[in-house]
Each structure stands twice: as structure tokens, then as C-alpha cells.
Amino acid sequence: MTTASFADYCATADARERIAQNVLLWTQMLCEALEQDYIEESIRRQKFFAANETGNVEIASKVSEQRIAEIKDRKGTYQFVIETGRKYHKIIMVCPDLNENRPPSRSVHGFVDKKTGEVYMAASWKAPAKNGVRFDLRIIEQREWVLENCDWAGTYLYKR
């Protein structure tokens, strides 16, 4: 191997490593955006139900205020975590059990290719859907759209 080709190889390896690091960072940003969307949606629903409460308005208002405070403190809210596998970062939605005697339930939200940043819907716990890439996080416009429009329920993965 010549000196020039070795330098090119090292530069390419460095670029791949930087892309992989960025993909992990973007996946973490997606998880944070999903959690924030869940919190905002929970608060919106809590206000809606409190406004439409037909019983004692004063009690409903106090309960609503207490629940909104709990939501803002992230008590009993969904969390989105990353489990890294061989090829994909798996985004997992963790739903706490209010009973606290049982472990939280977990479901797969989606997959992100570790090398390319391509986002896939989940087909099962172990694999992404085979119907193609939904987004590419390396493309700035797509990444910005995903971070602004993602929702905790995953409907943004159907819009393409």
C-alpha cells in the first residue's frame, strides 16, 4: 500500500467513524424530541379533559393541575431509549406501569441504521420493515423535518 492510498484509507475510516458518531447523536436527539412530543400531547389532553369535565369543576381543576405538574416532572411519562445492535440503533418506547409492582412495558418505535442514518419503521422486535427507508438523518432537510414533526406514536413514519 502506498503512502497516498494509506492516507486515503485513514481519511475514509475517520469519515465513517464521524458519520457513525453523528448518527448516534441524531438518534439521541430523535429520542428527546419523541419524549417532548409525548409530554406536550399529555398536557394538551389533560387540559382538554379538565375543560370538558362535567362533575365538580374545582376538584377537576386541582387534579388536572397536579397531573400536569407530574407530567412536566416526567413522572409516569413514556421514555425513549436506544439499544444498539450489530447493524441498527433500536429506538424503544418504555411505558412505566403505574402499579410499580411490574416492570415497564417496552415496544420498538423504529430502527436507525448505524452506518447510514437511515430511519426505518419496525416490523418486529428484532427487525425493521422491509418497505424501505423513511428518512435519512444525514440529509439536513430530512433530519430537521423529522425532529420537528416526529410524534411519540410513530405516525410520522407513515408520512412519505
CA-to-CA separations, 134 to 74, 92, 106, 122, in angstroms, rounded = 29, 17, 22, 11
H or E element: which one contains 70? helix 57-72
CA-to-CA separations, 39 to 27, 60, 78, 83, in angstroms, rounded = 19, 20, 8, 22
Whether the predicted pLDDT of 2 surpasses 70 = no
Res 120: pLDDT = 96
Q: Check residues 62 and 138 and name the one with the higher pLDDT.
A: 138
pLDDT tens column, 55-111? 555 655 666 777 777 776 766 678 999 999 999 999 999 988 766 777 888 999 999
Q: Is the separation of the CB atoms in 102 and 95 below 8 Å? A: no
CA distance 67 to 102: 22
List residues bridging with 101 in a β-sheet.
Answer: none
- Tell me the three cell numbers of residue 86: 450489530
Whether the predicted pLDDT of 141 surpasses 90 = yes
Q: What's the pLDDT band for 131 if we cut at 50, 70, 90?
A: confident
Q: Is the separation of the CB atoms in 138 and 117 below 8 Å? A: yes
